[in-house]
Structure 1
Amino acid sequence: MTSLLTQEIRLSKRHEEIVSQRLMLLQRMENKSEDQNKGKASSTQAAKAALQRNVRLLKDIEAAEKSLQTRIHPVLPSEVAALETLYWASVEEYIPKWEQFLLGRALYPASSKNGNEAEDTIQKRAQR
């Protein structure tokens, strides 16, 4: 009987050791889980901050690009813009004639009475 009692006491102590080890492991797991959650939260916060920073940087770059574009290509006065439009219209009008000449399929395009057909066209358009 004493042997059974001794064995019972030994088993009870062993049970208490196992239960205390289990509690320690559960506590460690809980702590590790909390640390992981904190890490995820800080990573998420860092990602959000990086996204906001990138958006601000992109806006700054776009603003700088617009500023540089206006410096490189300033807005032309209306008279200059009108002349440019007339010039390109004249060029488009004469492309077919000159294209054939430059390809060697036609003679030199005939000019008007004063010798400058392109200038006549520009003057006519400017008078309108």
Structure 2
Amino acid sequence: MIVSQRLMLLQQMESKFGEQNKEKTSQIQAAETAFKRNLSLLKDIEAAEKSLQTRIHLPPPPELVSLETLYWASVEEYIPKWEQFLLGRAPYPIGVENQNEAENTIQNKAQQ
């Protein structure tokens, strides 16, 4: 009786130990798979970062530089006319109403 109970307990312990080993092996494999996946993702992120860094340092296209220059020239031209109006010291600047003319001038300069 005691021997059979001992044998049964021993078998249960061996079974439990085997299950624990299988679970541990499964966890190790999952961790290794996750590590490989994370390493691959990290490499992809580093490659994307490197690609973006090279794009950041490229000079803007000449059309954009020209447009930006024309924009700031227009802003500087109209600031004095609007400044007094925005400060409440002068009426609405009448010369600015003809905005189509200013836009045509900018477009003509951009096309040159």
Q: Answer whether TM exceeds 0.5 for this pair.
A: yes
Match of 2:45 in 1: 58
Give the share of equivalent positions with the same residue, in percent.
Answer: 10
Match of 2:93, SS state, is coil
Match of 1:15 in 2: 2
Query: Matched residues in 1 for 2:76 and 2:26: separation?
Result: 69
Q: Where do 5+ consecutive residues of structure 2 fail to align?
A: 86-90, 97-112
1:94 to 77, 88, 94: 77
Whichever residue aligns with residue 19 of structure 1, its letter is R
Alignment: residue pair count: 89
Match of 1:42 in 2: 29
Superposition deviation, residue 50 in structure 1: 0.6
The verdict on how the C-alpha distance between 1:64 and 1:76 changes in structure 2, with shifts beyond 3 A counting, is closer
Computed over aligned residues only, the root mean square deviation of the Cα atoms, in angstroms, reads 3.7
Superposition deviation, residue 43 in structure 1: 1.0
Whichever residue aligns with residue 12 of structure 2, its letter is L
Superposition deviation, residue 74 in structure 1: 5.4
Deviations 1:29-71 (A, max 9, x none): 111111111111111111111100111122233344556x47x
TM-score for both structures, normalised by structure 1: 0.51
TM-score for both structures, normalised by structure 2: 0.57
Q: Where do 5+ consecutive residues of structure 1 fail to align?
A: 1-13, 110-128
Larger Rg: 1
Whichever residue aligns with residue 42 of structure 2, its letter is V
Superposition deviation, residue 89 in structure 1: 3.8
Query: Matched residues in 2 for 1:55 and 1:26: separation?
Result: 43
